[in-house]
Structure 1
Amino acid sequence: MSKIAFVFPGQGAQYIQMAQSFYEANEQSKEIFDIASDALNIDMKQLCFEENDQLNITEYTQPAILTATIATLKAVEDYNIQPEVVAGLSLGEYSALVANNALTFEEAVKIVRQRGKFMQEAVPVGVGSMAAIIGLTNEKVEEICSQIEGIVELANYNCPGQIVISGEKEAIEKAVESLKANGAKRALILNVSGPFHSSLLKPAGDNLEKVLQNVSLREMTCPYIANTTAEYVEQLDSIKPLLVKQVYSSVKWEQSIKNMIENGIDTFVEIGPGKTLSSFIKKIDRKKTVINIDTMKDLEKLGGLTC
């Protein structure tokens, strides 16, 4: 019997026409787009399916990815596969919380619209930056970044040899030069609108905390793994503080996957746009089964799964 985890992508996975095949073929998937459009007063179908300038603006990106992901999940649910645990990368944590019933989709899409807005507004454009570092150990990146003057923090532990750093623009640029000099295969400044998952985003976390005060959580159907701790969460009262902290703390994705594997998970199903998480998981443990569900055609891969 397979022990299955559902995992959900974060910001950066978006592309034009994401989840369109589900919208066109599955009534429940279509309903998700309708709910999002009504909740946010946005034409979510237009945002996700047609060429536009808004999809890459954080305030719109986050609800768009959540909508596409949950529309995909609705089609997956037709297969009656029960995950042992769910997890999501950054924004994807909200998809995980919809998947395990802690949040309704309507609540979640409203929250992430505001979350995106808060993150966008927390730091003036040009003040912060992020960079991807390839080819060094976590410990080496931590050591070098600790020696840089200014704010440079580890934002994403993606997989072995791949880390994202975040912080003040000048400090990130200095860190990139130092990391290259110390053997990084690549150290690439990212085209992002802010220094996400760094302490500079603390104001966004504070604003999100106020929003979450008015949100009611429901009993979870299975535990989820929190980005900030890489630990299983089974208590409802832990969720809101973890979501607040997540905005300005490191995303421990590599550690999260390893924890799930240690707890017997042998099959990971990535649900939503792109294949980024599948790539990370294969680099963490090539022996595990990894299935990516991005289009209707991908659903064929689920036929052999048993719980």
Structure 2
Amino acid sequence: MGKTAFLFAGQGSQYPGMAKDLYENIPEVQTLFNQAEKLRPGTLAQMFAGTEDELKQTNNTQPCLFLADLAGAIALKKQGIEPDAVAGFSLGEVVALYFSGVLSFQEAFKLVCLRGELMHKAATQNAGAMIAVLKMDRDELALLGKETGTYLVNYNCPGQIVVSGKEENIEKLKALLTEKKVRFIQLSVGGPFHTPYMEETSDKLKKELKESDKYQVKAPQLPLFSNKTAQMYPEKEDEIIDIFSAQVSNSVKWEDILTNMEKMQIDTFVECGPGKTLSGFVKRTVKGAKILNVSDIESLGSTVREFENAC
């Protein structure tokens, strides 16, 4: 086994009950979750007993999924397993900011709560949707995007691009894709994320990070890859803030992140958080990669055994 990356899941992978057994069995996870509960009362009830509709609301999804993603990474760290690099998909990038040392836990949790509230408000003002388009030429899809007023936003892996926009425009795009017999998947998110409709959110996040005294942004302590650039984050505070705050209104270059990780000889990818969406992207992007995940006690045990057997 060579180098390892931790990948933090993004919005859409949430489900009621996520990370509950990690919370119940790992004291370090329980401590952080309880800190979050004090900062945002009701979060644990939403995570463990909320409805799917409740968890789908962006202002709820983001703080809950932040914790669920983090639980797996904290559990691995307790077992002596640490990454050589990290990246998070969309909101997962906030988890990566904490895990790489850019922000403290309280700072990162406050930030993800604010991010969720701002994006929820923007989505309410601009009712939107997102679909994953499968096996379509990128240039052809871009032309359809211009025709329908939609945006190519997430470059997930070869053969899969997410398109975002207002609901009525996404419906127009879906009709054209159906006519062309192109497959697509409706995503479980509630807004036109990573589009210009989120620019006001980007501006407010930047202002919060630059002008508030609530945050002390530090240089990453390990390689942290940016959604916006697909490159490692810089060390200067202002540059870190500019790149992160712009993330919500720009495309997620996930395929390029994975390719760049491969270039730095990462061959083992551990998805931390609910589901296996990011694992699927790795499988389609990095040939021969070892792909693991941690979302509960059972998958934690399996992943730890894989590392032990590789030693």
TM-score by length of 2: 0.91
Q: Which whole-Å CA distance do the structure 2 matches of 1:37 and 1:212 have between them?
A: 22
Deviation, structure 1 residue 15: 1.0
* Counterparts of 1:220 and 1:14, CA distance in 2: 27
Whole-angstrom distance in 1 between the partners of 2:11 and 2:187 = 13
Residues 98/126 of structure 1: CA separation in 2 closer, same or farther (3 Å cut): closer
Where does 1:21-170 land on structure 2 (aligned, <5 Å)? 21-40=21-40, 42-52=41-51, 54-124=54-124, 127-146=127-146, 148-149=147-148, 151-170=149-168
Per mean C-alpha deviation after superposition, the further-off stretch among 120-129 and 159-168 is 120-129
Give secondary structure in 1 for the equivalent of 2:133. Answer: strand
Q: Give 2:265's aligned amino acid.
A: G
Please report how far the alpha carbon of residue 251 of structure 1 lies from its aligned counterpart in structure 2 after TM superposition: 0.7
Aligned partners of 2:56 and 2:190 also within 8 Å: no
Q: 1:126 to 1:202 in 2, by over 3 A?
A: closer
**Alpha-carbon distance between aligned partners in 1 of 2:56 and 2:180, rounded to the nearest angstrom:** 33
Question: What does the per-residue CA deviation read over 1:9-52, in whole Å, with 9 as the maximum and x for residues that have no partner?
Answer: 01111111111111111111001110101112x13321111134
* Equivalent in the alignment of 2:209: 212
Instruction: Figure out how many residues of one structure are paired with residues of the other and give that number.
Output: 303
Check 1:273–1:189 CA distance in 2 against 1; reply closer, same or farther (3 A cut): closer
2:192 corresponds to which of 190, 195, 200: 195
Q: Please, what TM-score do these two structures have when normalized by structure 1?
A: 0.92
Q: Structure 1 residues 191, 77: CA separation in 2 closer, same or farther (over 3 Å shift)?
A: closer
Give 2:257's aligned residue: 256
* In 2, Cα distance between equivalents of 1:4 and 1:91: 21
Can you list the C-alpha shifts for 1:257-305, whole angstroms capped at 9, x where unaligned?
1111122111101111111111111111241001011111222322343
- Corresponding residue SS for 1:15: coil
Q: Which has the higher helix share?
A: 2
RMSD between aligned alpha carbons?
1.9
CA shift, 1:225, in A, is 0.7
Instruction: Summarize the alignment of residues 262-273 of structure 1 with structure 2, pairs less than 5 Å apart.
Output: 262-273=263-274
Q: What is the identity, as a one-letter code, of the residue corresponding to 1:292?
A: N
Aligned partners of 2:185, 2:175: CA distance in 1, in Å?
10
Separation in 1, partners of 2:88, 2:175? 31
Shift of 1:174: 2.4
* Gap runs ≥5 in structure 1: none
Shift of 1:170: 2.9
Judge conservation of contact 2:58–2:189 (CA < 8 Å) in 1.
Answer: no
Please state whether the residue corresponding to 1:14 is helix, strand or coil: coil
The Cα of 1:189 is off from its aligned counterpart by 4.4
1:64-85 per-position Cα deviation (integer Å, ceiling 9, x unaligned): 0111222222211012223221
- How does 1:284-295 map onto structure 2 within 5 Å? 284-295=285-296
- Structure 1 stretches of at least 4 aligned residues deviating more than 6 Å after TM superposition: none
User: Bigger shift: 264-273 or 295-304?
Assistant: 295-304
CA distance in 1, matches of 2:137, 2:259: 16
Secondary structure at 2:171 match in 1:
helix
> Counterpart in 1 of 2:243?
242
Task: List runs of 5+ in structure 2 lacking aligned partners.
Answer: none
Distance apart, 1:183 and its partner CA: 4.9
2:20 aligned partner? 20
